[in-house]
């Protein structure tokens, strides 16, 4: 092809048309600008696919083209028939014919002068009959050739009568531009033969201007009859029937419905087939309607149609209707169970069944009726134990199996464990136990024994797994309990609160025997006490003595033997203590010492009046207490 480009450039005074024709396949698009049969076509009566093989040839029959045949690379004005198209820098691709191996195509390298480059006489046609001609074309020039300015391919198709004097149909492809990758495009013409005419002449003419480009490929030249578009409908206006086995036999009436786009009159011959390939005429069925016998198996019907009854017997003169397909779908067998399953409670299990291709499965919670729990799946996943039922349904016809397949899920109970919250003493160790036997253990520490020894507070877990593979996780919260330290004992009259310097799970007592959770003791009598604080878990005990003083709020010195003296109960526990009593102006009236009888309400032998008096207690241990009381007469 490089040589062809050079020759074009050297001869600018000529009208140069390079036409390269080949038949190959990579991608397809259909061009309808010329026109295709809008109705039903018959089988092809002429089909030129140019053969197969790795050797070039054979040469076209004499009179087909004015180009010279070569067994190799075609130069200007030459052609070849080959399965290879990558001459020069052209696209190298397969032919168009489906399912070809080493399919050949006709390749032209056009001469410099535009004009007819292909002619073929097609015989065996019927007179006064419409036909469709079609062919596939391919521009072989890659898009980046000719500096991306390659001349597009443009071809005119003509159909002439056998005398080559009457033009029956013509049409131009328009510009077929070069592409980055090869693309096949189909073109067609519809024509009608004349009375007494049984052959026509096909001509292909190059319309392109000369210059760089205009390289062409053609394949699969086909002639077939063109008739009305004919549908077949039953008495319910269906164009096909799909029925389940339980619905047979099927009775119906079929009607052929032409659209009158080609024929003015119609002759019919009904046919039937069981495989869609081999068709047989149904004897005597030549009407527009046909009533088949009761149908119990799948079958297809169509009708041959001609404009004249004489042409019905000639396959070159008929059109074929659309196919009316009656499918009888066998009732599917119930699904095949893949087995019952068992698993641990609260863990999802998968049950499944198998069915042939073309069958789907729906799952139900009952062997009949019930609620659908999963649709269109051969498996069902759930954590809920029980029996589930799989029903088979055919994709065609929605035919349902006569019964459902039961598949069960049973569950094992996981080991029962209880979470714990434990205390342990500071600077000690504690043993943690799973609390269950005959299982395997996986502690969060990495240990696998039934118990472990630890000395740090925190969260610990152990996963226990039984022989069925079911697991539970026990959580143990370990809290460190410190040795208590008493910081203070707060005394408020007869109420005492033991205050610790640290926090923990502590218990409190005043006798070291009976303990309580509350650190507050009330309604205590005056006296010497010992406060006890014990850490839960026997982690240690702290003690401290304290004295509760009974300081009267009032006294009545009237010599009746009741409250005749004011004194402080429990002061005897402080042998060195002193108690001072003052009047309201601060005058010292009396000093009371431990084991003293107390104050009788006199001063220098004189009765003091009813009033408020003040006291000051010095315990001689750094503690001084002050307050007041009432003298009542």
Query: What's residue 8's pLDDT?
Result: 27
- Integer Cα distance of 63 and 600 in angstroms: 161
Question: Do the first three CATH levels of 336-412 and 486-548 match, i.e. the same topology?
Answer: yes
CB burial of residue 39 (10 Å; 0-12, 13-18, 19+): buried
CATH fold group of domain 230-329: Immunoglobulin-like (2.60.40)
Overall CATH class of domain 420-481: mainly beta
Query: What's residue 280's pLDDT?
Result: 97
pLDDT 10s digits, 416-462: 999 999 988 888 899 999 999 999 999 999 999 999 999 999 999 99
- Integer Cα distance of 388 and 581 in angstroms: 95
Angle at CA 333, nearest 5°, toward 331 and 335?
135
List the chain residues with pLDDT less than 70.
1-33, 210-211
**Residue boundaries of the structural domains of the chain:** 2-226, 230-329, 336-412, 420-481, 486-548, 554-631
pLDDT 10s digits, 24-48: 433 333 333 488 988 888 888 899 9
- Integer Cα distance of 306 and 266 in angstroms: 6
554-631 to CATH, choices 1.10.1760, 2.60.120, 1.10.150, 2.60.40:
2.60.40
Structure tokens belonging to residue 588? 């010292």
Alpha carbon 324 to its chain centroid, in Å, reads 38
Q: pTM for this structure?
A: 0.53
- Integer Cα distance of 104 and 82 in angstroms: 5
CATH fold group of domain 486-548: Immunoglobulin-like (2.60.40)
Can you tell me whether residue 585 is helix, strand or coil?
coil
336-412 to CATH, choices 2.60.40.10, 2.60.120.10, 2.120.10.30, 3.30.70.660:
2.60.40.10
Query: What's residue 211's pLDDT?
Result: 67
Looking at domain 2-226, does it have CATH number 3.40.50?
no
Query: What's residue 424's pLDDT?
Result: 87
């Amino acid at each position: 092809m490089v040589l062809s480009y050079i020759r074009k450039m050297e001869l600018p005074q000529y009208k140069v048309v390079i036409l390269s024709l080949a038949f190959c396949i990579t991608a397809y698009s259909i061009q309808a600008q010329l026109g295709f049969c809008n109705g039903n076509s018959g089988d092809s009566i002429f089909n030129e696919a140019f053969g197969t093989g790795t050797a070039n040839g054979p040469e076209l029959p004499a009179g087909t083209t004015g180009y010279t045949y070569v067994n190799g690379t075609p130069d200007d004005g030459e052609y070849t028939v080959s399965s290879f198209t990558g001459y020069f820098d052209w696209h190298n691709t397969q032919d168009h014919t489906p399912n070809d191996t080493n399919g050949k195509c006709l390749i032209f390298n056009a001469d410099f002068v535009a004009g007819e480059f292909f002619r073929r006489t097609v015989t065996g046609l019927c007179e006064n009959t419409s036909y469709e001609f079609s062919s596939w074309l391919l521009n072989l020039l890659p898009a980046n050739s000719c500096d991306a300015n390659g001349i597009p391919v443009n071809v005119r198709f003509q159909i002439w009568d056998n005398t080559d004097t009457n033009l029956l149909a013509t049409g131009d492809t328009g510009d077929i531009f070069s592409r980055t990758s090869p693309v096949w495009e189909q073109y067609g013409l519809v024509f009608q033969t004349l009375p007494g005419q049984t052959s026509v002449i096909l001509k292909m003419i190059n319309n392109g201007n000369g210059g760089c480009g205009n390289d062409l490929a053609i394949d699969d030249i086909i002639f077939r009859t063109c008739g009305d578009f004919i549908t077949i409908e039953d008495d319910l206006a269906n164009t096909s029937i799909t029925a389940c086995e339980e619905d047979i036999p099927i009775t119906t009436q079929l009607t052929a419905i032409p659209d009158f786009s080609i024929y003015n009159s119609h002759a019919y011959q009904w046919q039937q087939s069981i495989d869609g390939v081999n068709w047989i005429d149904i004897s005597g069925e030549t009407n527009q309607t046909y009533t088949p016998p009761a149908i119990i198996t799948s079958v297809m019907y169509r009708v041959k149609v001609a404009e004249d009854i004489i042409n019905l017997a000639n396959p070159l003169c008929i059109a074929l209707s659309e196919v009316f397909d009656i499918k009888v779908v066998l009732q599917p067998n119930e699904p095949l169970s893949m087995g019952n399953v068992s698993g641990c409670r609260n863990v999802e299990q998968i049950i499944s069944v198998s069915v042939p291709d073309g069958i789907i499965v729906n799952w139900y919670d009952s062997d009949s009726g019930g609620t659908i729990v999963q649709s269109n799946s051969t498996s069902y996943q759930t954590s809920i134990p029980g029996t589930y039922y799989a029903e088979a349904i055919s994709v065609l016809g929605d035919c349902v199996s006569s019964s459902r397949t039961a598949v069960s899920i049973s569950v094992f109970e996981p080991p029962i464990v209880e979470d714990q919250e434990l205390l342990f003493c500071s600077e000690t160790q504690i043993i943690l136990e799973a609390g269950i036997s005959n299982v395997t253990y996986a502690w969060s520490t990495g240990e696998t024994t039934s118990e472990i020894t630890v000395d740090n507070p925190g969260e610990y877990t152990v996963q226990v797994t039984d022989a069925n593979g079911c697991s539970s996780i026990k959580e143990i919260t370990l809290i460190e309990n410190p040795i208590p330290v008493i910081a203070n004992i707060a005394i408020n009259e007869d109420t005492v609160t033991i205050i610790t310097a640290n926090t923990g799970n502590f218990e409190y007592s005043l006798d070291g025997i009976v303990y309580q959770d509350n650190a507050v003791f009330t309604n205590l009598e005056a006296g010497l006490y010992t406060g006890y604080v014990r850490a839960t878990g026997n982690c240690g005990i702290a003690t401290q003595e304290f004295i509760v003083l009974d300081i009267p709020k009032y006294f009545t010195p009237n010599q009746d033997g009741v409250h005749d003296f004011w004194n402080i109960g429990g002061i005897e526990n402080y042998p060195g203590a002193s108690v001072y009593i003052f009047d309201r102006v601060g005058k010292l009236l009396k000093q009371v010492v431990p084991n003293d009888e107390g104050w009788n309400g006199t001063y220098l032998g004189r009765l003091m009046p009813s009033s408020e008096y003040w006291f000051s207690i010095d315990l001689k241990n750094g503690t001084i207490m002050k307050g007041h009381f009432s003298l009542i007469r």
